Structure 1
Amino acid sequence: MAQASNVLTKIAQVSVGLGLAGSMVQSAIYTVDGGERAVLFDRFQGVLEETTGEGMHLRIPWLQSPTIFDIRTRPRSISSITGTKDLQMVNITLRVLSKPNVEMLPTIFKNLGPEYDEKILPSIGNEVLKAVVANYNAEQLLTQRSEVSAAVRIGLTKRAKDFNILLDDVALTHLSFGDEFSKAIESKQVAQQEAERSKFVVQKSEQEKLAAVIKAEGESDAAKLISDATKSAGPGLIELRRIEAAREIAATLARGRNVVYLPSQANMLMGMNPGK
């Protein structure tokens, strides 16, 4: 019995030793996934200047502890309510694609910590938006949106570099004004449409008057020409016009179904058809 008890005791001791050894080995290993970097903090040396990349790495348990940073580009929306040059309030939303400067990760860790983007981007985003929007009036924000977006991108990229943050893209995604300004814009558009409509009516009236004058002048010239022709041609022209008129009347009557012609000394008589 004593011998069996000693064997069990040794087995237990070995198991405990293996367990402790396995725990120490596990605590001495850490893994960095794709798109990540690790910054090591040493209790004696502080934050190490060299970062570790993807893969499995060793560390000294208790003495060293890794902090994992995501170095991939991440999107963020920044909203700001600010005033324009003409004192109109505008609500602007900015989309930012950002990532940390990998070479400066130890500095970022020491100065800002792992949540560096949460601390910096909203603050500098509002700062740049207010500074840029203040240079434009409300109408310019609508008509020169690309220029405003470019100015915000330049200013925000410069400020982000001060904190070792790189920006891949900056764009305005939303821009809206207060209810009063929106109503004023709508009223202005309605007034412009009414003015254009009134302008069209005036131009149409002027064109109609001009057409009437031209028509009257044409009729006057035609009458004058006929009068001159009559004076120069004598009664022969009048007789020709009478014959042409008689011919037109005869052609019109010929198309009628209820007309009867009775020749009598070149005169035409009309009557109703007895059959009707």
Structure 2
Amino acid sequence: MAFFTQNASKILVPLAVAATVVQASIYDVPGGYRAVMFDRFSGVNDKATGEGTHLLVPWLQRAILYDCRIKPRNISTTTGSKDMQMVSITLRVLSRPDVNHLSKIYQSLGMDYDERVLPSIGNEVLKSIVAQFDAAELITQREVVSSRIRADLLHRAGEFNIKLEDVSITHLTFGKEFTQAVEAKQIAQQDAERAKFIVEKADQERQAAIIRAEGEAEAALTISRALEKAGDAFVALRKIEASKAIVQSLAGNPNVTYIPSSNGNVLLNVSGQK
């Protein structure tokens, strides 16, 4: 029994050692990652290892995994514009390492390359670009400002082998004094527009009064000319129309009675007076 136990130990121990060595010689690179190989004799290999399972020499070699997926980051700063207005601006940056230069990134910056580089160059570029524009231009020419920031930041990040997929301004505010000045200007513009409307309305009413007066004068002149042409005939016509209106009014009154006479009709009031 002791003989078999000794033989089993002789077999199992080497197998366990071999399994440990094999396990230490294998490493996996997950999706979206790359591995930089460090060799104790030759240093960092220039070419990064792609996704999948790979072999290495235990103790002699070590794999450093880099996440090469796109990472979002906000960069904020407060700086002065060209006209000395304080501006608070925030950028949203989507970045990733250049997989062809991961060995250089590891050698010069380490694993936290983005923490070391992006906040610094982001603040540098923001302060530089904002200082070239007035506060009003930062509002009216926002696309131009964003384009300039993107171009400069792409260039600066490329110097550190970092690629930027997107750069956009997400927040832009000004100091309290400038904000109050803008509000006062807007109020003044609204008051000016209101005053302009009142003046235009008064002018239109004046023109309407002039046109109305001219029309009434023309009508009066027309009537006057017609009277001059008609003479006494027109006056007689008016008398007949007035008499007709009086007769129609009296005819509808039950208290008035007509009595024929040789000299014409006589009106009697039979309203019940005693």
Q: Considering the TM-score relative to the shorter chain, is it more than 0.5?
A: yes
Matched, 1:229 2:226: yes
Tell me, yes or no, if the aligned pair for 1:36 and 1:71 is still in contact at 8 Å: yes
TM-score, normalising length from structure 1?
A: 0.85
User: Which residue number corresponds to residue 70 of structure 1?
Assistant: 67
Relative to structure 1, the CA distance from residue 51 to residue 268 in structure 2 (aligned partners, 3 Å threshold; closer, same or farther) is farther
| Amino acid in structure 1 at the alignment position of 2:188 | A
Matched, 1:109 2:102: no
User: What CA distance in whole angstroms lies between the structure 2 residues aligned with 1:119 and 1:58?
Assistant: 31
Picking from 147, 150, 154, the partner of 1:153 is 150
Please identify the structure whose Cα radius of gyration is greater. Answer: 2
CA-to-aligned-CA distance 1:26-82 (integer Å, 9 cap, x gap): 111110011111010111101101211111111111111111111122211111111
TM-score, normalising length from structure 2?
A: 0.85
User: What CA distance in whole angstroms lies between the structure 2 residues aligned with 1:220 and 1:58?
Assistant: 110
RMSD over aligned CA atoms reads: 3.0
Tell me, yes or no, if the aligned pair for 1:84 and 1:138 is still in contact at 8 Å: yes
Identify unmatched segments of 5+ residues in structure 1: none
Tell me, yes or no, if the aligned pair for 2:29 and 2:50 is still in contact at 8 Å: yes
Aligned positions of 1:110-259 closer than 5 A: 110-240=107-237
Relative to structure 1, the CA distance from residue 241 to residue 7 in structure 2 (aligned partners, 3 Å threshold; closer, same or farther) is farther
Q: Secondary structure at the match of 1:50?
A: coil
Aligned positions of 1:20-39 closer than 5 A: 20-39=17-36
| Amino acid in structure 2 at the alignment position of 1:128 | V
Q: Secondary structure at the match of 1:94?
A: strand
User: What CA distance in whole angstroms lies between the structure 2 residues aligned with 1:58 and 1:41?
Assistant: 13
Q: Percentage identity across aligned positions?
A: 49
Tell me, yes or no, if the aligned pair for 1:88 and 1:138 is still in contact at 8 Å: yes
User: What CA distance in whole angstroms lies between the structure 2 residues aligned with 1:157 and 1:93?
Assistant: 16
List, as ranges, runs of 4+ consecutive aligned residues in structure 1 with deviation greater than 6 Å. 244-251, 265-272
Report the alpha carbon displacement of residue 8 of structure 1 after superposing the two structures with TM.
3.6
User: What CA distance in whole angstroms lies between the structure 2 residues aligned with 1:236 and 1:78?
Assistant: 98
User: What CA distance in whole angstroms lies between the structure 1 residues aligned with 2:139 and 2:184?
Assistant: 16
Aligned length: 265
Tell me, yes or no, if the aligned pair for 1:260 and 1:269 is still in contact at 8 Å: no
Aligned positions of 1:44-59 closer than 5 A: 44-59=41-56
Identify unmatched segments of 5+ residues in structure 2: 259-263
Q: Secondary structure at the match of 2:217?
A: helix
